[in-house]
Amino acid sequence: MTTIEQNPAVQTLLECTLARHKSMFLATSGSDGSWVSGVYFAEDGPKRLVLVLEERGRTLKAIEENPEVAVVVSTGSPMEPFLQARAVAEIVDGAEDEAVRQRLVAKVPEAAPFLETPIRTVVLTVPRWRVTDIPNGWLPGKEF
């Protein structure tokens, strides 16, 4: 069993990995079944991620039905550090919607065209991460 780390090295790798990546995999489950999407994201600290989803898409529909999601932040290579987590998704409006859009475009300028389409903004709250770094012996990953 993995223990939750208070190790600064784990937090540093977590924050660096989030900062290095513009996109992640987002897994949802709703009445249409399980689904995985690639999405652009920005971090608002290590426990909060923000993103946008197409208004009529399968991913948003699943979140409306079941806000429990899973995420993977990775290049796809198990030999590079990667992150995994469960999270709770919340669709936001108003001032928070605008703040999410600004944060996302600040990190991922190429996401700007998506903001002109029918989209909704989403905030993910991540209670804890699993941080895996196989070359450095973090297998199983360290929880933070």
The residue ranges of every structural domain in the chain are 8-130
Instruction: Give residue 3's pLDDT.
Output: 54
Instruction: Give residue 130's pLDDT.
Output: 98
Instruction: Give residue 69's pLDDT.
Output: 98
Residue ranges, the chain, pLDDT below 70: 1-5
Q: What are the Cα distances from residue 82, in Å, to 15, 17, 130, 139?
A: 11, 7, 8, 11
pTM summary value: 0.94
Superfamily of domain 8-130: Electron Transport, Fmn-binding Protein; Chain A (2.30.110.10)
Instruction: Give residue 11's pLDDT.
Output: 96
Residue that has been written with the tokens 């780390």 in this structure: 5
Instruction: Give residue 6's pLDDT.
Output: 73
